[in-house]
């Protein structure tokens, strides 16, 4: 997702009644204009909602993917947005709610699962990466490939520096790499190897999300310090790097091994991180964290939270989460004696007062 700089949050955060969604969502994002919320689905579709101060109104869904749409990202003007799926397809869409056909589509942008996407601050490039260990730059206007190069690992998170001069990736093994996107050359590496563990024949963890502070002097990397593979257990972990020196200046780790991953983060100009977490079994929170403080100063339970969208006014936010009691073992059966399908209710919050 592109860096976001919502307005300062004032007042008390109030939770609204969750909005039911009949499908399971992979991620959510507001348009920069604040008039639309979009989400990729596990079913190869895209859900859209018209946003007003009072409510969300369903817009016609979009079809054009065959698999999980894990990545969605708007350009800085909010005129287009982009989506990528687990079959390697990338699509571009108009933000006009009437338009339902892709502006362009590249079915084989990657040979396999696309895990990460970022749009250049001036919309000069669309960057994608994933399990094929390839970083690909695309012309956002046409879908034409500009450049590609080897990432060296499975990239799970991606962002451009707000200046637009560098592309930053975070991988499965906990390496953060700064790239010169004009050449594909590696400029430097930052160490977040606490976020990786090889256990029970599994590689688990990885850098899952990024956020910049207001002046881009610090880069925050979110993930997990895994304790075990299999049924993965681990501690929420956020590492803050001084961008000039590359030195870690912040290391926030929770004490509960069931807290799991920090999966999405945004910086609030009031001077704190807003993040969502998800762990097993059924753990999850919306947390507010100030750099340098050991524990979040506010925390709200949201089971299985996985994505966070901040309205441009900085006052409203939505958290996407898998429904509670969604694990197969011990779940309640439906009337047909079958396990009901999982869904992703939208949990709304607003700063009031």
pLDDT of residue 267: 95
**348 assigned to some structural domain:** no
The CB density around residue 293, as the number of other CB atoms within 10 Å, is 11
Residue 282's pLDDT is what? Answer: 86
Name residue 15's beta-bridge partners: 349
Cα distances (Å, whole numbers) of residue 263 to 159, 193, 266, 276, 305: 14, 17, 11, 6, 8
Q: For residue 346, how many C-alpha atoms fall within 13 Å in the half-sphere facing its CB?
A: 27
Alpha helices of 242-340 — where are they, by DSSP H? Answer: none
Q: Are residues 168 and 216 in the same domain?
A: no
* The total number of structural domains that make up the chain: 2
* 151 found inside a domain: yes
Domain residues for 265? 194-324
Q: What is the pLDDT along the chain (353 residues), one digit of tens a residue?
A: 444 455 556 678 899 999 999 999 999 999 999 999 999 999 999 999 999 988 899 999 999 999 999 999 999 999 999 999 999 999 999 999 999 999 999 999 999 999 999 999 998 999 999 899 999 999 999 999 999 999 999 999 999 999 999 999 999 999 999 999 999 999 999 999 999 999 988 999 999 999 999 999 999 999 999 999 888 899 999 999 999 999 999 999 999 999 999 999 999 988 999 999 999 888 999 999 999 888 899 999 999 999 999 999 888 999 999 988 766 555 667 777 777 888 999 999 998 87
CATH number at residue 224: 2.130.10.10
215 and 180 share one domain: no
Single pTM value for the model = 0.94
Residues 6+ apart with CB under 8 A from 245: none
User: DSSP character for 11?
Assistant: S
pLDDT of residue 22: 92
32 vs 332: CA distance, rounded Å:
40
Classify residue 116: in a domain, yes or no. Answer: yes
Q: Are residues 231 and 134 in the same domain?
A: no
- Report angle CA 349, 351, 353 to the nearest 5 degrees: 140
Q: What is the DSSP string of 205-236?
A: E---EEEE-TTSSEEEEEEEEEEETTTTEEEE
Q: Is residue 40 part of a domain?
A: yes
Q: What does each C-alpha distance from 58 to 25, 46, 50, 109, 174 come to in angstroms?
A: 15, 12, 6, 30, 38
Question: Are 245 and 319 members of one domain?
Answer: yes
């Amino acid at each position: 997702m592109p860096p976001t700089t919502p307005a300062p949050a004032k007042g008390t955060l109030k939770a609204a009644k969750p909005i039911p969604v009949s499908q399971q969502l992979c991620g959510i994002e507001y348009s920069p204009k604040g008039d639309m919320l979009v989400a990729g689905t596990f079913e190869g579709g895209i859900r859209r909602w018209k946003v007003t101060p009072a409510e969300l109104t369903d817009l016609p869904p979009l079809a054009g993917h065959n698999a999980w749409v894990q990545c969605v990202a708007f350009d800085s003007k909010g005129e287009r947005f982009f989506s990528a799926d687990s079959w390697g397809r990338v699509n571009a869409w108009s933000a006009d709610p009437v338009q339902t056909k892709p502006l362009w589509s590249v079915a084989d942008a990657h040979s396999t699962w696309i895990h990460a996407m970022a749009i250049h601050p001036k919309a000069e490039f669309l960057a994608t990466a994933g399990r094929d260990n390839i970083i690909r730059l695309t012309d956002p206007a046409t879908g034409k490939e500009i450049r590609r190069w080897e990432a060296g690992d499975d990239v799970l998170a991606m962002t451009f520096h707000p200046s637009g001069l560098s592309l930053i990736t975070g991988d499965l093994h906990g390496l953060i790499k700064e790239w010169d996107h004009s050449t594909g050359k590696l400029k430097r590496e930052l160490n977040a190897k606490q976020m990786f563990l090889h256990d029970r024949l599994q590689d688990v963890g990885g850098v899952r999300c990024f956020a910049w502070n207001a002046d881009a002097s610090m880069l925050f990397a979110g993930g997990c310090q895994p304790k075990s593979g299999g049924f993965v257990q681990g501690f929420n972990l956020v590492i803050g790097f001084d961008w000039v020196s590359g030195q870690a200046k912040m290391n926030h780790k929770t004490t509960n091994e069931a807290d799991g991953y920090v999966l999405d983060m945004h910086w609030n100009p009031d001077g704190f991180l807003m993040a969502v977490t998800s762990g097993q079994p059924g753990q999850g929170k919306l947390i507010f964290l100030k750099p340098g403080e050991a524990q979040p100063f506010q925390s709200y339970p949201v089971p299985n939270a996985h994505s966070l969208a901040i309205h441009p006014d900085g006052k409203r936010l939505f958290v996407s989460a898998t429904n509670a009691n969604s694990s197969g073992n011990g779940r309640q059966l439906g009337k047909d004696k079958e396990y009901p399908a999982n869904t992703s209710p939208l949990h709304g919050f607003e700063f009031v007062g």
